[in-house]
Amino acid sequence: MLHEISPLRLDNAYYPHVIQNGDTVLCYQGDAILVRDQGGVSYPVFDGKKMDPARFIYLFAIDGQKYFLSFRAVWAPGFRFQAVQKLRGAQPQHLAFAGVLGSHLYRWYRARKYCGVCGHRTVHDGKERMMRCPACGNREYPQIMPAVIVGVIDGDRLLLTKYALGEGRPARPHWALVAGYTEIGETLEETVRREVMEETGLEVGNITYYKSQPWAFTGSLLAGFYARVVGSDSVKLNEQELSQAVFVSQKEIEVPYTNVALTNEMICLFRKVGPEVLVRRDPMRQEPYGPAEKRETFR
């Protein structure tokens, strides 16, 4: 998946670092990022002769290489703004992940320039990633929206869905799984039951956690579950949410493995092992079938 950059390591703790020559600059405008893509993506590098260090905010490091955010376009010949979405599946993977991850932080910083309580200009805290209001003392921490993805299983069949068409939705939706955001006051398991019921009218049990994925495109943390249909398998489609929801047998699933998104991995894992995905796994073990056969597992 996009965030799986091992053996490289993400250090996402905040430090009040000042940018130095050679550090990487992530620069965004709306949904676009300043990038060069010539057989592999790259980003501008800080040059103290041409750029003012005070304008950059430290984001994170990958294997010691530091990444900083710039709100204003930097002087970078050969680079151009392109949609962050285009980084899905781009190489090298750790740089694609860095650009996508940075976009979540960029949107958060952009939305927290002013205090949400009193409207005063906020300032960055000196010790942690937090925007503080000097007028009223309000503290704003990075915001992540939890959401679930659910592989709904009936015998040897998996429920595949397509989003309804509409504003802000893909023009040609892929096959996906039931998914939705957690509401205030519910557990992830309750989100699973509610979303499956709302979108398809199905009741599920045997809810089994699979894996999670940070999904910066929507500012989310995705939690993947498999669950079994309890009672009737008759789908009552919520046409506001979905255009299709059909049970497809394990052998008839035709979805290519893309190594980017949790939804895709969950569909491909079901095709490989069927209802065995409902057997509870050791949550501390990252890869259900071992890293060596990682790609092969899901094909």
Q: Is 133 in the site for Zn ion (CB under 5 A)?
A: yes
Q: Is 55 helix (H, G, I), strand (E, B) or coil?
A: helix
Piece of 21-29, 112-120, 171-179, 251-259 that binds Zn ion (CB under 5 A): 112-120
What is the spatial distance between Cα 174 and Cα 220, in angstroms, rounded to a whole number? 19
Closer to Zn ion by Cβ: residue 120 or 281: 120
Q: Which of 138, 243, 244, 259 binds Zn ion (CB under 5 A)?
A: 138
Closer to Zn ion by Cβ: residue 133 or 178: 133
Q: Is 161 helix (H, G, I), strand (E, B) or coil?
A: strand
Q: Is 130 in the site for Zn ion (CB under 5 A)?
A: no
Total residues at interface with Zn ion (CB under 5 A):
8
Q: Which of 74, 115, 131, 267 binds Zn ion (CB under 5 A)?
A: 115
What is the spatial distance between Cα 26 and Cα 38, in angstroms, rounded to a whole number? 17
Which position has the token pair 């005063």?
Answer: 120
Closer to Zn ion by Cβ: residue 9 or 120: 120
Piece of 83-91, 134-142, 215-223, 266-274 that binds Zn ion (CB under 5 A): 134-142
What is the spatial distance between Cα 237 and Cα 107, in angstroms, rounded to a whole number? 34
Q: Is 121 in the site for Zn ion (CB under 5 A)?
A: no
Piece of 35-43, 65-73, 99-107, 137-145 that binds Zn ion (CB under 5 A): 137-145
Q: Is 117 in the site for Zn ion (CB under 5 A)?
A: yes
Piece of 52-60, 135-143, 191-199, 233-241 that binds Zn ion (CB under 5 A): 135-143
Helix residue spans in the chain (DSSP H): 93-111, 188-200, 262-273, 294-298
Q: Which of 9, 72, 120, 169 binds Zn ion (CB under 5 A)?
A: 120
Q: Is 131 in the site for Zn ion (CB under 5 A)?
A: no
Q: Is 136 in the site for Zn ion (CB under 5 A)?
A: yes
What is the spatial distance between Cα 97 and Cα 26, in angstroms, rounded to a whole number? 12
Q: Is 123 in the site for Zn ion (CB under 5 A)?
A: no
Closer to Zn ion by Cβ: residue 136 or 279: 136
Amino acid at 228: R
Q: Is 123 helix (H, G, I), strand (E, B) or coil?
A: strand
Q: How far is the CB of 129 from Zn ion (least distance, A)?
A: 18
Is the separation of the CB atoms in 17 and 67 below 8 Å? no
Instruction: Point out which residues pair with 42 in neighbouring strands.
Output: 36
Closer to Zn ion by Cβ: residue 140 or 199: 140
Q: How far is the CB of 127 from Zn ion (least distance, A)?
A: 19
- The beta strands (E) that lie in the chain are given as 10-11, 24-29, 32-37, 41-42, 56-62, 65-70, 80-83, 123-124, 131-132, 139-140, 145-154, 157-163, 178-181, 203-215, 220-230, 242-249
Binding stretches for Zn ion (CB under 5 A): 115, 117-118, 120, 133, 135-136, 138
